[in-house]
A and B are shown apart, each in its own frame.
Chain A
Amino acid sequence: MIRTRGDKTFEAVSHIVMILVTLCVILPFILLVVSSFTDESELVAHGYSFFPKKLSLESYRYLFKKGGSIMRAYGTTILVTLVGTALHVTMGSMLAFALSMKGLPGKRFWSFYVFFTMLFNGGLVPTYLTYTNMLHVKNTFFGLLVPNLMLCAIHVLLMRSYFSTSIPDAIYEAAEIDGAGIFTIYSRIVLPLGKPIIVTISLFAGLDYWNDWLNGLYFISDQKKYGIQTMLFRILEDIRVLASASLGSAGMNIKIPSVSIRMAIAFVAIIPIIIIYPFLQKYFQDGIALGAVKG
């Protein structure tokens, strides 16, 4: 293809626009990181800044030495994310494989059973009442793990179509002729050959667990059981309560971490995403193009 001057101008414009967009995206994160390394007195006197006059590692020192509750929340989030993601893809891929099998009696019914959950849902009130009053998940690990995150219909349906279209029928037939049972086919054929879709789904499920703060908000009131996002949420909420409180309630016993410590906690909470993103961004983009994001 011959590149005309017009093409070159247009590409130059594209670069300029995209560099500006990239800056708009990145700068707020830089602000977050810089303020976590800023000396607290500097923050109080001159506010958040990209170019603080005085840097300090104090907030991180505090976090690792005295931030026991923060570290525990961090640990809780890691645990919930690992267990939740494992359950999500295991349950999801098993269900998806069964629904992808030719000739399964009741296949249409069960596919619709899964699909219908995407169209209609009870919403917060009945879900909340079911989980608190019938299943009593309040202030338990299950409260963070189970509601809304442990499986989602769109992921099951994506895996089902992958298992039935991207894995050739001939392979299933050959395995059956060799006398492999359904469990063997699942563990020896579906899991290894379905790896691309399983990795993609795991990523999105893991991200949902890592970023989840709603289950913490609804079902956890015991501070010791917070995940990191819920912890961050409560800290910001306390700031608002303090700010809107009249002077008369000065006796309120709320201890709020300083600005730089807050920003350090927030930064620590996105570090895992920053680390994995460069390696897995292809999976994220492909997953989005495939429609793996919950509506």
Chain B
Amino acid sequence: MKQSSTLPPERKAQRRRNKLKKWAPAYLLMLPGVVYFFINNYIPITGLVVAFKKYRVDTGIYLSPWVGLKNFEFLFATNDAFVITRNTLLYNLAFILVNMVLGIAFAIFICEVSNKWLKKIYQSAILFPFLISIIIVSYIVFAFLSVDNGLINKSLLEPLGMDSVAWYTEQKYWPAILIIVNTWKTVGYSCILYIAGIAGIDRALYEAAEIDGAGKLRQICSITIPCLMPTIITIVLLNIGHVFYANFGLFYQVPMNSGALFDVTNVIDTYVYRALLKIGNIGMASAAGFYQSLVGFILVLVSNGIVRRFSRENALF
């Protein structure tokens, strides 16, 4: 610093020019990506102000008149705000819990398999649904639950002499159905993360335990689970950072957007979509969206802060 301030002005300018010349190609490489994030992420962030406005198509977001907190007053005056918050949170917590328990269990089982080839098959199979679009999943669910010719009504309930069920209008079944479908689709993902965690455990621990005469179950309880704890806590916390966001397709398309099920299938994401594009109530949609962005942001910060406290390298930042 000191050295450069003593340089004559023309040398300083020369230096700046050299620096620019050296780094200009790097900035050029950055440019498309930076512009993309600006358009795709930063402009919409400024657009969040629409939640405090009465949106008018002719003037656009920024010139529409301000209405203060009116949109939020309308939103929180309805029962919907409570229902969508409850559904989003409870479903996500259930998903996190089930994926954690089954993910760890399946990971332990897979790691016990000594045949390399079979191990690979199990691992690949369990991950496969994760790679399929939720639309295809909704077709498969429909094949099981369709009222007129679904597998469950036609091949299970009818032969047993039971009444067929109108699955897409009966609320009571959907919490279970959504949890099953989500587990089916995503448990392989958690399982792979836990397998990676187990692979990182020092083998010597198991050998020592064996010499001490510890059986398999004992080894799992006293070595695998405790050694996996940092991984488990990190994954769960990072997931908790996202509990305010729901998988739109799972809650919209798997229940076939059935109005009779809204009480148990409406989450923030589906609510925002319907308010924006089905009903055209931009005020409500933007208020709910703002609420989601803000609380979601706080949750990410808090959960990451906790992760950071006990395992620095696993934190996002």
Q: Which residues in B have their C-beta under 8 angstroms from that of A166?
A: none
Q: Which residues in B have their C-beta under 8 angstroms from that of A35?
A: 143
Output the nearest chain A residue to B294 by Cβ-Cβ distance. Answer: A120
Partner of B106, one of A21, A95, A263, A273: A21
| CB within 8 Å of A: which B214-246 residues | 215-217, 238, 242
Q: Give the distance to chain B from A191, nearest Cβ to Cβ, in Å.
A: 12
B248 at the binding interface (Cβ < 8 Å): yes
A92-B30 Cα distance, complex, nearest whole Å: 9
A53-B37 Cα distance, complex, nearest whole Å: 55
Q: Judging by beta carbons under 8 Å apart, are A117 and B140 in contact? A: no
A277-B125 Cα distance, complex, nearest whole Å: 10
Partner of B151, one of A48, A134, A273: A48
Partner of A186, one of B29, B140, B273: B29
Q: Which residues in A have their C-beta under 8 angstroms from that of B184?
A: 24-25, 28
CB-defined interface of B237-276 with A at 8 Å, one 1/0 digit per residue?
0100010000011000100111100000000010011001
Output the nearest chain A residue to B148 by Cβ-Cβ distance. Answer: A47
Q: Judging by beta carbons under 8 Å apart, are A21 and B125 in contact? A: yes
CB-defined interface of A115-151 with B at 8 Å, one 1/0 digit per residue?
1011111111111111001110000000000111011
Output the nearest chain A residue to B129 by Cβ-Cβ distance. Answer: A25
Q: Which of A78-86, A167-175, A232-240 sits within the interface?
A: A232-240
Q: Judging by beta carbons under 8 Å apart, are B146 and A273 in contact? A: no
Given A124-B276, A281-B127, A48:B149 Cβ within 8 A: yes
Q: Judging by beta carbons under 8 Å apart, are B126 and A25 in contact? A: yes
A123-B253 Cα distance, complex, nearest whole Å: 19
Q: Judging by beta carbons under 8 Å apart, are A236 and B50 in contact? A: no
Q: Judging by beta carbons under 8 Å apart, are B37 and A114 in contact? A: yes
Partner of B256, one of A2, A28, A240: A240
Tell me the number of A-to-B contacts counted with CB atoms below 8 Å: 288
B19 at the binding interface (Cβ < 8 Å): yes
Q: Judging by beta carbons under 8 Å apart, are A126 and B50 in contact? A: yes
Q: Which of A10-18, A59-67, A193-201, A245-253 sits within the interface?
A: A10-18
Partner of A98, one of B30, B36, B269: B30
| CB within 8 Å of B: which A76-124 residues | 90-92, 94-95, 97-99, 101, 104-105, 110, 113-115, 117-124
A→B interface (CB under 8 Å): 1-2, 4, 6-7, 9-11, 13-15, 17-18, 21-22, 24-26, 28-29, 31-32, 35, 43-44, 46-49, 90-92, 94-95, 97-99, 101, 104-105, 110, 113-115, 117-130, 133-135, 146-148, 150-151, 153, 156, 181-183, 186, 207, 210-214, 218, 229, 232-233, 236-237, 239-240, 244, 259, 262-263, 266, 269-270, 273, 277-278, 281, 284-285, 288-289, 293, 295
26 contacts between A and B (CB under 8 A): A11-B112, A11-B114, A17-B106, A21-B126, A22-B125, A31-B151, A47-B148, A91-B36, A117-B41, A120-B296, A121-B293, A122-B289, A124-B285, A125-B51, A125-B282, A133-B60, A134-B60, A183-B29, A210-B133, A211-B131, A232-B136, A270-B132, A273-B131, A273-B132, A284-B127, A285-B123
Those 3 A-B pairs whose CB atoms lie nearest each other, nearest first: A126-B47, A122-B44, A47-B154
